[in-house]
Structure 1
Amino acid sequence: MESSRPLLKVHRVFQRRNQTGKNASRMPWRVRWIKMADKLVRGKNDLSSLYPELAAEWDHEKNEGLDPDMVLPGSGKRVWWKCACGHEWKTAIYHRTAGHGCKICASRKAVLKPGVNDLATRYPELSEDWDFEKNDPLGPSDVPMYSQASVWWKCSKGHSWKNTVSHRIQGQGCPYCAGNRILPGFNDIVTLKVSYLKDWDFRKNHDVKPEMLGPGSTKKVWWRCPKGHSWEAAVYSRTAGSGCPYCAGNRLVPGVNDIATAFPELVSEWDYDRNNGITPDMVAKTAARSYWWICPQGHSYSSSPGSRARGCGCIYCAGKRLMKGFNDFASQYPELLKEWDWDKNAGIKPDEIPCNRHKKVWWTDSQGHSWKATTSNRIRGCGCPYCANRVVLQGFNDLSTLQPDLAKEWDYERNAPLKPDMITAGSHRSVWWKCHLGHSWRSPVSTRNSNHTGCPYCSNFKVLKGFNDFEHHHPELKDEWNYERNEGLSPSDYTYGSHKLVWWICPEGHEYRRSFSERHTGRNCPYCAGSKVLAGFNDLKTQTPWIAENWDYKRNRKLRPEDIFPYTNRKVWWVCGNGHHWRASVNARQKGAGCPYCHGLLPGKPHFIS
């Protein structure tokens, strides 16, 4: 059949795949191609000639004035059709040529398998909305799922409407509950008692009643606010919160929201000559159109009333537009003109640029340095970048020129391709250095220049194994390292000048803590040196037990003879065999001093020897 038809232009038609099941609505589209002509030629490429079977279903009554031989098969025009069963529907012509027919007939032709693919079995929740009265004698078990037949439904609120079974399966519910259709007494703006209903203009809306519209309606109707202002607006815009445009200042109400009434202080700046007869009382305070104004300085400029109301004033006084002799760079900052580079700025004049210009121009100082900067930067005090050491200039502020001694320690290998004449002497950039002993380290140029810091290894700020580590300098103390208590540490990880406290063991087996610097300066075991007490070694009880026998434990409280040196001058309490208590230094006891009571050395006491 296709070969008998003339060659036509290919036309693409989208069509859903013929699928069944719950996910049918999610199935991808498939593409069908039909051929159509660019121009209608009756008797050759019209619908009646190419598709006589479709022309037979043409509804001539409803398509009055339009016949099937007057349209192309691929036309997107929606027309009326009537099948052999008398069902009427409206759809696009290309939709019919793509193979779509009467939905009702198609649904009836679907093979119904009761208990398998009927609506009641597969979607029992939809059966609850079935309108048995209007669909009598048809029931939900009498139609297959995804049927295209339009039937009656009734929601839980009693709303009755007509829809296809397939659309219900796809999720379409009650159009009244969803707000897609208006049901007076249920979802109209009168029933919902919207706040803006009081503004309804019954006089101008004589053909439209509020009971006919919902809150989301796009229909424009008339409104009247309590102040008597009348305006036209869509219902949905009122639902969204819009109100009277006159009260909001969006439309002019003389004596209420005009410039002269709302902002009388701006009237004195109104340019009557350039506004061509328009006066401030003729313009709304929020108007978007620009009008002419004259500032107190006599500058004439255009601006909208809304901008003026927000505080925007003269564009020349604010520096937003250039005016020679008033806000140009030359007139405002004549002291900077002596550094203007006239040769490199050829074609640019300082009296033709604004002070806040962001484009860079050329400058030159008394040293002959030439650089580019914006006028705004110069106004903020930014001068020559070379004199300020912000930018390097070889032979002027580079490291080689200003600090040749530091440049000698430059590590050319690790800094390649950077050289000392490519960086300023005050740069904060970290680079590599190498001292005369070959030590390599990293440090900012500014730190070396300002703090006069040198090699961190030579100055013992950093450890370098085999050079300044403690083990390298004091191998004789390696045997005194307490490996058990210094777990994870090594004497080669610290310099000999480090102040870190670590554990040591002397040849006598005493454990003590000393820093590396203390050991380096010769400070050894504090117990052997007698600077600390070690119970059982150099304490009073161990060295002179006969003196410790007179120790007064009660009056000395927590202090014990094991906690004190045998020759200290510290005074403590003693008790003799006769029960006398007295205070005396340990050193005095070592020299033979005994109980002062027993020896009669206290006047007024028994046994006193005069």
Structure 2
Amino acid sequence: MTKKQTIEDMHKLAEVRGGRCLSDKYINSQTKLTWECADGHTWDAVPAKVKFSSWCRVCAGGEKSTIVQMRELAQAKGGKCLSQHYINTGTKLKWLCSKGHVFERAPVAIKSGKWCSKCSIQQRAISARAGIEEMQQLAEARGGRCLSTDYTNAHTELEWECHNGHRWPAKPNSIKNGSWCPTCRLTTEDKCRIIIQELTGQAFIKNKRVIKPYELDGYNETLKLAFEYHGIQHYQFLEHFHKFYGQFLERQERKKEAMCAAIGIRLIAIPYTAAHSDDELIRFTRQHLKLLGVPLVTNKVNLSSFYEGLKPLNKLRELARKHGGECLATSYINNKTPVPWRCKFGHEWNAKPNDITSSQWCGKCAGNQPLTIADMHETARQRNGLCLSNEYINSQTHLLWQCEQGHTWKATASDVRSGRWCKKCSTKRRSEARKDTIEEMHELARQRGGECLTDVYVNSQTHLIWRCGRGHEWPAKPNNIKNGTWCPRCKNRKK
């Protein structure tokens, strides 16, 4: 059995080092005592460290090297560390940045990359100005304008206007990646559709089933013929804005052509340069149909019906965009004639414009249409999983599900569609979150010069065991420690 240490043992330990132990009471090997070296430097340290060769940091050059490190750290950032003494990673030091701003920050914050907050605010303002200027240049290159005056980030929508005066909201990233005015694109695409339909006497409908996952702007099964309208973004790439996006679009279009050719579909690609005038667009389309040997029923095209229906059609498209979806109609008759729609989840249906104007939208999303087992398979696919059942009865009947990790369980369609998924994966994520949190507690204690002695975190209201720099131990809730409380004994001693 190991002999219990005493304060006398600590005095002897210090004498061996040519110094003294100034404390008069020994508690345990992890409770700090006060020591003094032969040169008169005093400090607090746990007996266990002193026993295993740790001694005066000042004599060893430890304190000097630490403050030197802080000065080197500041110098690397173009500034200075104005403090003379280093205590620990959580105790603030005084710093000077290259712009002359003086501020206080803990070493742990500086090491993690933080620096002068004034400079940071100024830099964000400069970045925002540069961001909005870049967006204005990008819009100008497309012949339009960026109407917003403030830039937040690449994912916050700005207001744009094309050369035809159409306005719409879009994220900077989306514009940088080649998208532009949705109204102009749909307008010209529809014009191409009407021209090719009149010349051939056949219907050309949008199709995203023939060459999955790609969509064709128009396809006719009888003629085995498809068309694609290529807007300005397919050709005009400014290296500063697009980088590799142009190459990506090129690869995508080549893949579409190859997939069409493989199944015997002839594809006409109509560039935006052919759409400068109606006559030019008709001439280009007619010429390419003849080159492909497609029989024509007429050589003339009347676009008056297109222009008459354009205004109400644009209103329907704008209405669909407000719902986060699309109006798939290529012509408009009146507000009581159903037209096709698509919601943001890909559900398609026919509805009267009047109904949509009255705030009706996707019946499936609203739960008004009966669900099927195919809907369950799609729900699972969206979560990267599987629905293993083959029959759907109703929303309260259990089905068998499998997540991407291979876990299987039973749950109702109602539960899964409301957002619930694999319990095992959910438990694992919560466990990982707890692990991260206990590490935060340990770091929080270190910043106070102490320790968190607990290894498992439950929640912010469950007590953990803490130890201060003087060796006092006590239980406290993480929330209380986060809010600034610390050792109650040290607090009472100060009073």
Q: Which has the higher contact order (CA 8 A, sep 6+)?
A: 2
Same fold (TM > 0.5): no
Question: Normalising to structure 1: TM-score of the pair?
Answer: 0.27
Question: Normalising to structure 2: TM-score of the pair?
Answer: 0.32
- Considering only CA atoms, is the larger Rg found in Structure 1 or Structure 2? 1
Instruction: Select the structure that is richer in helix.
Output: 2
